[in-house]
A and B are shown apart, each in its own frame.
Chain A
């Protein structure tokens, strides 16, 4: 298929990665996966995806934030989704609602894990302006 959009998916939970990949491929995207911050960093050096979905806590507690930062420095125009279950597990609440948070979290969208497929599709379409 021509013009197939590519998505980079990074998560250390292999089951989540597998399910998410299936889901995204069903929406018609080409999906590349990486299961660690290190692997993802190597990957983005050589390839520019159309959208990236990062988990927050991987080998480091703030892997997701670091990835977002590095990614935005390389490709400022690629939208990034930060998908995490950190709020549900730790009770820490944060989002991208205030300007202050937007300044230090370099993502375009913050998602709580446990998102419905139709919801995910809509959010991706919104970010890719499809």
Chain B
């Protein structure tokens, strides 16, 4: 039902059921806000979005108040403006004054607001909050003294990611964001996806940085420094340097990383091809024996941790193949080390990835052989951008170079896994070939490229209808996981990614991207697939080469340990 309301002496149309803020935004009236995010439920916690409604005693928070017929609203009356300003001043009163040293300097919503609302002096001096810095987590650092209690992390973790690590604790001025039993993040059920970092308006949540260690290691001439680039980085890092996303940026990144001091730059997509081959073979084998079906993908480390702590019954369903980044890490320190004649310990293996949970995955005990980890350092997209800035490299004008052999080229399905549903497309292409010996007739599967939460698709391969299900994000995970547990899900393969949209929207990506930016990033990955000739993993000639020599170079008994991993039930505080 539509009706009209009056805003700032102007009539506008409103729909019943909308909040005041939604109506105003649709009509092009900008209201500052802090705690309100479009995809999350409104709470009215920060009250920056207050407006004046005639006939009401108090100002109302427009993000959570429903619009009704005949309302007369003032959005920028002196009373409203003063209230907003005081609110920001109060938020700043106990905020640490270290903007210049803050990681989010220039990219902080509180800073922007205080500028927008023209806060020019400190009128209110509060006691600076001195809260414990939680450095224990492998992925996320929590600096509670910078928290402004907007509750966005609480809602993202609960409503979007279905994890619920954070919750408000205590009351009144003692209110904090805390984990279960208020223990360190390391003992909590945090899966390290990093979506809370992307939504945090300040630096209260940020990543565990490895930049300092890397800078020292880069000057250690005794070791060979190897870095691998994830395909999703190519989609987003251009944003930071004003370069278009797509294929061209890969070469520029390779060139800059060589300048920074890496001896070899590899492409994670190569290992993704390998993972696809192994995964398709595993699916084929399980379809023959009909054991532990459906096969569930395991390339997303956040999902793997989620399964280990919430659904240990599903662990036998999980694919035993390592994730692409760790797979390349392990073959770098075995196959590649042997071919260039270097010891396993003399290689520094770095991963540049949009995924924050990789930091945790690289520390797993299964990813360590002879006391040496397969991946030493994990850099997020943000850290990589920092690194390039620290070394003063002009990414725009650098001459592109190719990644190093032998892990140079990949098929486009090895890059598609950056988007939710892309891994499944890759598996289907290779499975079709492995079963029938022919190429799949339609490579582009529109059903798997939509943005819905759960996507389903059927593909006829040989005599069998192969059913696949893709869970885009963890929002609907509980119903899906329960269906699998009870054997009610009729599917052969299930892909689950923790971040909505897949790795391109991972927790390590630049902060503050708009919906349009995100769409463009996903599209740039699909564009690569459209233009690439080599579309399936089994067509990768370099991969065939590596496969031929693999067991000879690393020794037959080591093949399993290098390519496969295992999962164990994890006890955490919920």
Residues of A whose CB lies within 8 Å of any CB of B are 87-89, 91, 95, 97-99, 112-116, 118-119, 121-122, 125-130
Q: Are B133 and A88 in contact (CB under 8 A)?
A: yes
Is residue B371 contacting chain A, with contact meaning CB distance below 8 A? Answer: yes
User: Given known contacts A89-B132, A114-B186, is B373 in contact with A126 (CB within 8 Å)?
Assistant: yes
- A84 to B356 Cα, complex, angstroms: 25
Q: Look across to chain A and name the residue whose beta carbon is closest to the beta carbon of B209.
A: A97
Task: Name B136's contact: one of A91, A97, A114 (CB within 8 Å).
Answer: A114
Q: Are A129 and B371 in contact (CB under 8 A)?
A: yes
Q: Look across to chain B and name the residue whose beta carbon is closest to the beta carbon of A130.
A: B371
Is residue B135 contacting chain A, with contact meaning CB distance below 8 A? Answer: yes
Residues of B whose CB lies within 8 Å of any CB of A are 132-136, 138, 183-184, 186-187, 212-213, 215-216, 219, 363-365, 368, 370-373
Q: Are B187 and A114 in contact (CB under 8 A)?
A: yes
Q: Are B184 and A114 in contact (CB under 8 A)?
A: yes
Q: Are A126 and B212 in contact (CB under 8 A)?
A: no
Q: Are B213 and A97 in contact (CB under 8 A)?
A: yes
User: Given known contacts A87-B133, A88-B133, is B186 in contact with A116 (CB within 8 Å)?
Assistant: yes
- A127 to B373 Cα, complex, angstroms: 11
Q: Are B187 and A121 in contact (CB under 8 A)?
A: no
Q: Are B212 and A95 in contact (CB under 8 A)?
A: yes
Q: Offer 19 A-B interface pairs, CB within 8 angstroms, sorted by A.
A: A87-B135, A88-B134, A88-B135, A88-B136, A88-B184, A91-B133, A95-B212, A97-B212, A98-B215, A99-B216, A114-B183, A114-B186, A119-B138, A119-B186, A119-B363, A122-B363, A122-B365, A122-B368, A130-B371
Q: Are A118 and B365 in contact (CB under 8 A)?
A: yes
Q: Which residues of A contact B368 (CB under 8 A)?
A: 122, 125-126
Q: Which residues of B contact A127 (CB under 8 A)?
A: 371
Q: Which 4 A-B pairs have the closest CB atoms?
A: A114-B136, A114-B184, A97-B212, A129-B371
Q: Look across to chain B and name the residue whose beta carbon is closest to the beta carbon of A124.
A: B371
Min C-beta distance of A58 to chain B, whole Å: 20
Q: Look across to chain A and name the residue whose beta carbon is closest to the beta carbon of B132.
A: A88
Q: Are A98 and B136 in contact (CB under 8 A)?
A: no
Min C-beta distance of B165 to chain A, whole Å: 15
Q: Are A115 and B136 in contact (CB under 8 A)?
A: yes
Q: Are B371 and A125 in contact (CB under 8 A)?
A: yes
Q: Which residues of B contact A115 (CB under 8 A)?
A: 136, 186
Q: Which residues of B contact A112 (CB under 8 A)?
A: 135-136
Q: Are A129 and B370 in contact (CB under 8 A)?
A: yes
- A23 to B183 Cα, complex, angstroms: 18
Q: Look across to chain B and name the residue whose beta carbon is closest to the beta carbon of A100.
A: B216
- A95 to B372 Cα, complex, angstroms: 20
- A95 to B216 Cα, complex, angstroms: 12
- A116 to B309 Cα, complex, angstroms: 14
User: Given known contacts A87-B135, A88-B133, is B371 in contact with A126 (CB within 8 Å)?
Assistant: yes
Q: Which residues of B contact A126 (CB under 8 A)?
A: 368, 371-373
Q: Are A97 and B371 in contact (CB under 8 A)?
A: no
Q: Which residues of A contact B136 (CB under 8 A)?
A: 88, 112-115
- A122 to B364 Cα, complex, angstroms: 8
Q: Which residues of A contact B186 (CB under 8 A)?
A: 114-116, 119
User: Given known contacts A88-B134, A126-B372, is B187 in contact with A116 (CB within 8 Å)?
Assistant: yes
